[in-house]
Structure 1
Amino acid sequence: MAVWDGGPDLAGVVGRVLATAQNGLEVLRFGGLETGTEPAPFAVVETHKMFRLRRYFPNEPSTGPNIVLVPPMMVSANVYDVTEHNGAVSILHRNGITPWVVDFGSPDSEEGGMERNLADHVVAISRAIDLIVEATGRDIHLAGYSQGGMFAYQTAAYRRSKGIASLITFGSPVDVLAALPLGLPAGLVAPAAEFLADKAFSRNLWVRDWMARTGFQLLDPVKTVRSRIDFLRRLHDREALLPREDQRRFLEADGWVAWSGPAIAELLRQFVAHNRMVSGGFVINGDLVSLAEITCPVLAFVGDADDIGQPAAVRGIVRAAPDAEVYESTLPAGHFGLVVGSAAGQHTWPTTSDWVNWLSDNGPRPELVSEMSLVEPGHGGGVSLSSRITHGVGSVADAGTAASRELLGLANSLQRTSRAVASESVRTVPRLFRLGQIQSGTRISLSKLMAENTKRGGDSELFLFENRVLTHAQVNARIDNVVAGLVDCCIRPGQHIGVLMDTRPSALVVIAALSRLGAVAVLLAADADVREMMRLADSTVIVTDPTNLDLATAASDRVLVLGGGSGDSRAIDGADGTSIVDMERIDPDEVVMPTWYRPDPGLAGDLAFILFSRAYGKLVPWPVTNHRFAMSAFGAASAAALTDRDTVYCLPPLHHASGLLTTLGATVVGRSRIALSNGIDPANFAVEVQRYGITVVSYTWSMLSGIVRDPDFHINQHNPIRLFMGSGMSAGLWEDVCASFPRARILEFFATADGSAILANVSGDKLSSVGRPLPETNPVEVAAYDIVGDRLLIDDSGFVRRAETGEPGLLLAKAKHKFDTNGTVLRDVFTTRDRWEVSGHLFVRDADGDLYFLGATDRVLRTADGPVFIPPLTHALSRLTSVDQVVVYGVGEPGHQVVVAAMTLRPGVKPDSLTVTQLRIALGEYRADARPHLIHVVDEIPKSASFRPLSTGLVEEGLPKPGPRVWYRDDDGRYRRYTRTVAEKLDWTGSRTSDALG
C-alpha cells in the first residue's frame, strides 16, 4: 500500500496558502499589491478654482504637437497614466507629442466644488486651451474620454474650433438617446432624466466617488463579479497579477471622484432628456451652442463592446457636426478598455499619436482610421450579443441578459406605434381635459400660464434671442417690473392698450405684462393704418419700442416706450404735443402697487386681446377672449405635440394670429423654448436653427419662400427641425419646404376671424388642406349655401342642409359658450335649439372629412359664368416649378368680373421658360370657365408684414396690358399669348373688353 509522505505536492499547497495569505494581507492593508511602477512626471503649470493644468514630462522641451486630455467628471485625471508603459501620456510622449491634462480634482474636496455645473467645466477647458496656445504659439489637439469627450465637443463648439487643430474622443456619446446603456428605451429614460434633474439633483443631491464606482460596476455586474473571483483565485500568483494590478486598483478604488449635483442635473436635462448634443441649442455660460459649429477634424474611437458609449450614440457626431471631417477607429474593447489596458496600449494611443502626427504633417494617415459612416437613428448600432460574447462578457447569465434585451428591443420596435400613441396621450389628455373644464369664471390667461411654468421650472430656458438666453424666472421678473411701470403710468385693468413693437423679447414681455395686469393688448401692425386700428379698438395709449416710435406718436398722443436699452445716451423724442414716457427709466422698486392689484386676474370670459382682419376691404377688429386664446393655445400645442424638449422658432409678427395664438400661446402651453429672430434671412436661418436647436418653425403665408428658394440656401440635412406650423402656405411652397426638410412635416392651421373655428391639418399629408377642428375646440359643419343668392339652403324638413362631399358651403362653428360669442349666432340650424356661429368663410369637405378653404364670402369672384374661388387657383399655379408668388384677383363689377392671376418667377428663371402647356396642366382639374381669364408675369408682388401677397395695387391698375408675359384663356380653357389684336377682339364680360375699360 502506498503511503503519502508529504512530498512536493504538500509543499506546493502550503506555498500557495502562504503566498495567498501574504498577498491578501498586503491588499487588505494597502488596497492592492505594490507594483513598483512610477507615475509619469508632470508639473502643475496653472492652478485655477476649477482646474489644475498638468504638463507631463516638463523637463523636456516641447517641440512637437500638443494634446490636451480631458477626463470625465467622475473619473480621476490619472486615468491617462494608469500603467507606466501603456499609459496614454507615456505613449504620446514617446511619439513626440507633449501631453497636457486638465485635472478638475474631486469637487467634494475643492472650494465651491459641489456648486459646479457643466458649463463651468467647458469654460475651464477653454481657458486651459488659451493658456497653452498662448504659451506654445500652436493650436492644440483636444481629446477626452467618455464625458470628457463630450466636454471636448462642447468646448470646440463653444470656441467655434478656435485654437483647436483636431478633436479626439474615446467612447463619447453624442446622440445619447440613440442607444442607451443596458438597452434602456429612450421613451422612458428621457422623462426620467428630466424628473431627476428637476426634483432630485437640483436640490443639492450629489454622487459620491463610491457611488460613481458602484454605478459603473453595476452596468456589467457579471463581469465585475467574475473579475473579483479571478483575482482571488490568482492571489497566490503575484507575478500573474502585477501586470493588471494598477488597472484593477484604479477601477476598484483610486480612479473615482464625486459628481456635483448641478453638473449632474444639467447633464440629465440638456444632454439626456433634451439630447441637445445632436440637436443643438445647449447653453454654455449664457451662450447658445451647437456642435454644428465644429469645423476642425474629428476622430472618434468606438468600442464594439462599449455599453456606455454605444456605437450608435458615438457615431451621432456625423449628423451633429456636418461641417467637420469625421473619422473613426473601432476596436474590440469595452468602455474602460478604450483608454486603459492592453487594447488601449496597442491600438488607441498609438493610433492617436499617428493621427496627431498626420495632421501635423509628421506622418501618413493612420491605417486604423477610416471615415465615419452615417447611421440613421433607430437603425441599430447598439452593442450586439455577438460582440458581448466575443469580447469576454458572454457568460451564460450575461448572454441570456443580452439576448433578452435584444428580444425586448425587437418587441419595442414592433410596438413603436402604440408607444407613440401612449406617449402623445400622456401629454395631450391633461391639456385637453383642462381646456374642456374652462367655464366663464375660470381664471386663465397668457400671464397665468407663464407664471405656472415659472413655478414649475424657473431655471429652465424660455427666450432665445441674439445668442442670449432668458430663463422663465428672469422673464417673469421682467414681466412684474413692466407691470409696475404700467401701474406707474396709470394703466388700469380692462383698459385697451395698443402694442406696436417688433417681434423681440420686450414685445412678448409687454403682452404678458398687460395680461398680468388685466388690461387688453391691442396688437397693431406697422404696415397698416395704426390710427384707424386705435379708433376701432377704443384705445388711446400705445406701448412701443424705439424703432416704431415715430409711427406710434403719429397715431396717439400718449406713448409709452419700452426696450432698446436704458443708458444715459438713450434719446426718446416724439411729435410736438405728444406725451411720451420712457418706461426704461422707471424704477420698479420705487413703485407702490395699489391695493386693487391682483396678478393674473383674467377670467375665461374676459377680453384679452384685439387683433385685426379685413372684410370687404376694411379693417375689422377681432376680439379674443382668454377662452378663445386658451382654445387656440391648448389645441395648437396638442396638434403640434409640443413639449419642454422643443424649441420653437417664432418668425411671424405677434399681431398675426399665427404669432400670438399658435406660436406664443402654444409654446407657453407646451413649456417649450421660444427662439426669436431679427429677420428672415437664409444664412441666418441656417445658423440659428443649429445654434438654437430649433425643432419647430412657425410661419405665415409666403414667409419661408425667401429661405428655401434662395439659390444659396444650404442647411445641414440632419438638422433638428421636425415640424413647420402656421397658416396661409401655398401648395407650391409646401412642396418645396418638404423637399428641403424631408424629415419634417407641415401643420397648417386655420382660424376664423372671430376665433370660433380652429382647424388644423394634423396629419400633414394632404396638400393645401386645413384638416379638421382641433380637439376640444368648437365642432364645425359645412352648410349648403347659395353663393349667388347669399343664403343658406334649406332641406325638406325646414332645417339647413349639410353640404355634400365636394360641394362648396358655408362654415358654421357650434357655439358652446354664450360668454365667448363675437359674431352672428343662428339657432335651430340643423336641429332644434342648436346654436351655430356664422364664420363668413366657404369650405369644401372631401370624402375623408378634411376641409379645404375656398375663401371668405366677400372674396369670391363673381364672373359672367358664375362664382370663382381664389385659394384653389392660387394653390394650383403656385405648384409651377418656375413660379414664386401668386395672387388671383378680379377686375370689374361683381357679376362681370375678369379673373386675373399675377405671378412672379423664382430667382434665375426667365419668363420665356413658362409655357402655355404648363399653365393648362397646372389648372387641368378645373373647368374651363373656372380658370383665370388672364395670367401675367409681374416683376414684384407686394407683401404685408406677415408675408401675405397683396393684390390691392394690381387691382387698381386694372386689366394687364397685352404683352409677351401675358396669356389669355380661350373658350376651351387653353392659354395663348395676349396681344393687342386679341385684346381688341375678346369679350370677357358680355360687352367688348375695350368698352368695359371705357
Structure 2
Amino acid sequence: MRVETFLRQSAAADPDRIAITAGDTCLSYGALDSASDRLAAALIAHGAKRGDRIAVLMENVPEAAVSIFAVLKAGAIFCPVNPQLRADGIAFILRDARPVAILTQAKFLRACEEAAAGLDTQPLLISTRALAALPQGVLAFDTAMPEAEHALLPDPGDDDDLAMILYTSGSTGRPKGVMMTHRAMDAVSASIALYLRNSANDVVLCALPLAFTYGLYQLLVCVRTGARLVLERNFAFPQAVLDKARAEGVTGLPLVPTIAAMLLSMKDLGPQALPSLRYLTNAAAPLPPAHVEGLRKLFPQAELYCMYGLTECARAAYLEPDELERRQGSVGKAIPGTEAVVVDERGREAAPGTVGELVVRGPHLMRGYWENPAATEAVLRPDPQTGQPQLHTGDLFRTDADGFLYFVGRKDDMLKVRGEKVAPREVEAALCTCHGVVEAVVWGEPDPVQGTLLRAAVVACDPALAERDLLRHCARILPDYMVPRTVEFREELPKTASGKIARRLLVEPDAPPLAPATGPAAKTGD
C-alpha cells in the first residue's frame, strides 16, 4: 500500500473525525485529505514531477502533515528537514537531495534562502502565512492551494516507488539520506500499529519532531488507524504539555530518556496526571532501569513499551510490557513480520550471552543511502542463506537463553581499558542507577599505560550529589576497570539535532556543533 492511501482510507471511513490537534487548531480527516489534494495539485502546477524530491522544513504544525501527504499524492519524494538545523546543515541536505521545492514556515525563510544560495537551480519556496508580506518569489500556502482547486492529480504510482529520503543525524559522521519505499513504510507502520494495538479510539501526543523517524511514525500510524494526533512543538514546558494531554484525553505517549527524566523530576506529578493514558513508548536511546521503574509507578495504569529502532528500518524490536520485570534492560524481540538476529564476526548466529552485531531482516528495510552505493553496500549485505538483503546495524547486542535482545553499544564506541573491552553504554546505565542522576555519558581518553582512561559527565537533579558519591556507586556495581576516572557535572549534555547525546563532541571538543546547545531541540529525540 502507498502511504498516501492511509489518509484516503481514513478520510473515506470518517471524514469528520479529528485527525490532528495543534494548539487551538483542529483538522478533520476530510479537511486533511482535501488540503493535501490541493497542495499536491499546486506542486504539480508549478512543475513537480514523479520522483522529484521536495523538502519539508517545519515544526510540529498541521501544515507539516498536509505537506507530507501532498508530496506523496503528487508522486514525489518528501525529505524531512529538522528546523533546528543551522543554514549549513540545511544546505548540505539541499545540495545532496536537490529538491525542486521547499515547504516551510515563514520564520525559516531566511535560513532556507541562505542555504539555497549556492545551488545551481533554486527550489520553489512555499511558506505558511506570515504577519508581514512574504518575500518576492515565495509562494504562500493560502494562495497556492485555492488556485489549484480543480487540477488533476496523477495516477497512483507503484508501492516500490521511493516515498521518503530521511537524513541521519550525522552523530557518527557525514549525514546520509536513507531511502524508504512506500512498501517499506507500509510494512513497518502496520507492524507498529499491530503490537501497540492502535485503533481509531487512540489519542497520541507527539512532542517529538516529525522530521525524525520516531516522531514521523506517530503521524503515519495515527493516520493509518484513524486515530487522533495531538501535536506539540517540543517538551520544553512539560506542565503545559501535560495539561494539554489531560484535556485531550491522550491514550498514547511516546517519549525519549530526556522527556522521561523531566517527567520523573516533576514533584507535583501523580498517577492521575493522565487518567486516559493506555501506553507509553520509548525509542531513540535506551531507558535507564531507574526511569523504567519510575514511569511504571507514575503511570501504573499504562503499559510501557521499550523499543529499539534506527532510521534505516524505523523500528526493529520491542518488549512486551508484561516482560519488563523479568527482562530488565531488554528491548525484546523483532517486531511482527521481521527478524532481528545477533551474529558473530563470521556472520553466524551468536550463542546466548555472546556479544555480536545485530542484523535485521524484513520488508521494512531501507532501499539504501541516496547516491551513496559504497555506504549502502557496507550495511545492506545479502543473507548467506537466502540472498535477501539484511541490514547490519553496527550496534552490539547479546541475547538471553530465550532470545530476548539486550543493547550493549555501538561497535564504533567500544573502548579497551587495561586490556578489557568496555561498552560506554553499560557504564552510563550504571551511573543512571544512582539517585539524582538524570543523564550520563561516558567516553575514553587515550592513556599510554592503561590504553584508555574512562571519563564521564552527568546531569543531576540533586545539588548535594558529589563526584565521590558517583565513583563509590560505580565501584559497588561495576568491575574496577569500568569505573570512570573522573565524573563532571554539567547543566546539559551536547545533543545531535535529533536529541541524542553527542559523545563525539566530548571526545572532539573542537568539532562543529550538531545542534543548538540550548533550546527545544535538546528536549526531544529521534
TM-score (norm 2): 0.84
| Deviation sequence 1:843-878 (CA, Å, 0-9, x none) | 111122111222332232344524322322222222
In the other structure, the counterpart of 1:86 is none
Q: 2:280 aligns with which of 701, 724, 738?
A: 724
In the other structure, the counterpart of 1:284 is none
Give, in angstroms, the shift of residue 806 of structure 1. Answer: 1.1
Q: Would you say 1:607 and 2:162 are equivalent positions?
A: yes
CA distance in 2, matches of 1:832, 1:842: 23
In the other structure, the counterpart of 1:104 is none
Q: 2:358 aligns with which of 803, 811, 815?
A: 811
CA distance in 1, matches of 2:145, 2:365: 42
Q: 1:532 aligns with which of 92, 117, 123?
A: 92
Q: Would you say 1:545 and 2:97 are equivalent positions?
A: no
Q: Which has the higher strand share?
A: 2
Q: Would you say 1:754 and 2:301 are equivalent positions?
A: no
Q: Would you say 1:932 and 2:497 are equivalent positions?
A: no
Does structure 1 retain, via aligned residues, the 8 Å contact 2:55–2:102? yes
Change (3 A) 1:563 1:817: closer
Matches within 5 A, 1:448-487: 448-487=5-44
Does structure 1 retain, via aligned residues, the 8 Å contact 2:60–2:209? yes
CA distance in 2, matches of 1:862, 1:889: 11
Name the % identity: 21
| Deviation sequence 1:243-295 (CA, Å, 0-9, x none) | xxxxxxxxxxxxxxxxxxxxxxxxxxxxxxxxxxxxxxxxxxxxxxxxxxxxx
Amino acid at match of 1:774: I
Does structure 2 retain, via aligned residues, the 8 Å contact 1:648–1:667? yes
Give, in angstroms, the shift of residue 461 of structure 1. Answer: 1.4
Does structure 2 retain, via aligned residues, the 8 Å contact 1:558–1:580? no
Give, in angstroms, the shift of residue 606 of structure 1. Answer: 1.3
CA distance in 2, matches of 1:940, 1:615: 17
Bigger radius of gyration, 1 or 2? 1
Amino acid at match of 1:881: H
In the other structure, the counterpart of 1:706 is 262
Q: Secondary structure at the match of 2:49?
A: coil
Q: 2:215 aligns with which of 655, 659, 670?
A: 659
Give, in angstroms, the shift of residue 512 of structure 1. Answer: 1.1
Give, in angstroms, the shift of residue 752 of structure 1. Answer: 3.4
Matches within 5 A, 1:820-835: 820=367, 823-824=376-377, 825-827=380-382, 829=384, 831=385
CA distance in 2, matches of 1:658, 1:530: 20
Structure 1 vs Structure 2 CA RMSD: 2.9
Q: Secondary structure at the match of 1:550?
A: helix
Change (3 A) 1:471 1:939: closer
Q: Secondary structure at the match of 1:588?
A: helix
Q: Secondary structure at the match of 1:679?
A: coil
Q: 1:902 aligns with which of 452, 457, 469?
A: 457
| Deviation sequence 1:200-219 (CA, Å, 0-9, x none) | xxxxxxxxxxxxxxxxxxxx
Does structure 1 retain, via aligned residues, the 8 Å contact 2:434–2:470? no
Change (3 A) 1:828 1:546: closer
Give, in angstroms, the shift of residue 617 of structure 1. Answer: 2.3
Q: Secondary structure at the match of 1:555?
A: helix
Matches within 5 A, 1:449-598: 449-528=6-85, 529-539=89-99, 541-556=101-116, 557-564=122-129, 569-573=131-135, 579-590=137-148, 593=151, 597-598=153-154
Q: Would you say 1:688 and 2:244 are equivalent positions?
A: yes
Q: 2:507 aligns with which of 945, 955, 960?
A: 955
Give, in angstroms, the shift of residue 513 of structure 1. Answer: 0.8
Give, in angstroms, the shift of residue 693 of structure 1. Answer: 0.5
Matches within 5 A, 1:91-170: none
Q: Secondary structure at the match of 1:645?
A: coil
In the other structure, the counterpart of 1:231 is none
CA distance in 1, matches of 2:366, 2:309: 19
- Whose relative contact order is higher, 1 or 2, with alpha carbons under 8 Å and at least 6 apart? 2
| Deviation sequence 1:201-240 (CA, Å, 0-9, x none) | xxxxxxxxxxxxxxxxxxxxxxxxxxxxxxxxxxxxxxxx
CA distance in 2, matches of 1:832, 1:471: 45
Does structure 2 retain, via aligned residues, the 8 Å contact 1:630–1:665? no
Give, in angstroms, the shift of residue 564 of structure 1. Answer: 4.1
Matches within 5 A, 1:365-514: 444-514=1-71
Change (3 A) 1:887 1:828: closer
CA distance in 2, matches of 1:832, 1:473: 44
Does structure 2 retain, via aligned residues, the 8 Å contact 1:757–1:779? no
CA distance in 1, matches of 2:97, 2:358: 27
Amino acid at match of 1:571: A
> Which residues of structure 1 form unaligned runs of 5+?
1-443, 785-791, 794-799, 959-998
Q: Would you say 1:802 and 2:349 are equivalent positions?
A: yes
Matches within 5 A, 1:108-257: none
Does structure 2 retain, via aligned residues, the 8 Å contact 1:610–1:623? yes
Q: 2:334 aligns with which of 747, 766, 773?
A: 773
Give, in angstroms, the shift of residue 666 of structure 1. Answer: 1.8
Matches within 5 A, 1:870-889: 870-889=424-443
Change (3 A) 1:675 1:587: closer
In the other structure, the counterpart of 1:918 is 473
| Deviation sequence 1:295-314 (CA, Å, 0-9, x none) | xxxxxxxxxxxxxxxxxxxx
In the other structure, the counterpart of 1:675 is 230
Amino acid at match of 1:548: F
Does structure 2 retain, via aligned residues, the 8 Å contact 1:882–1:906? yes
Amino acid at match of 1:749: M
CA distance in 2, matches of 1:828, 1:627: 20
Give, in angstroms, the shift of residue 726 of structure 1. Answer: 3.4
Q: Would you say 1:891 and 2:445 are equivalent positions?
A: yes
Q: Secondary structure at the match of 2:186?
A: helix
CA distance in 2, matches of 1:854, 1:941: 21
Does structure 2 retain, via aligned residues, the 8 Å contact 1:465–1:676? yes
Give, in angstroms, the shift of residue 882 of structure 1. Answer: 0.9
Q: Secondary structure at the match of 1:453?
A: helix
Does structure 2 retain, via aligned residues, the 8 Å contact 1:544–1:559? no
Give, in angstroms, the shift of residue 652 of structure 1. Answer: 0.7
Change (3 A) 1:848 1:909: farther
Q: Secondary structure at the match of 1:813?
A: strand
Does structure 1 retain, via aligned residues, the 8 Å contact 2:179–2:367? no
Change (3 A) 1:939 1:821: closer
CA distance in 1, matches of 2:413, 2:46: 43
Change (3 A) 1:713 1:903: same
CA distance in 1, matches of 2:330, 2:393: 18
Does structure 2 retain, via aligned residues, the 8 Å contact 1:942–1:949? yes
| Deviation sequence 1:571-597 (CA, Å, 0-9, x none) | 2238xxxx5222322252456625xx3
Give, in angstroms, the shift of residue 945 of structure 1. Answer: 4.6
Does structure 2 retain, via aligned residues, the 8 Å contact 1:711–1:907? no
Q: 1:850 aligns with which of 404, 429, 434?
A: 404
CA distance in 2, matches of 1:818, 1:563: 33
CA distance in 1, matches of 2:317, 2:158: 24
Q: Which has the higher helix share?
A: 1
Q: Secondary structure at the match of 2:234?
A: coil
Amino acid at match of 1:521: F
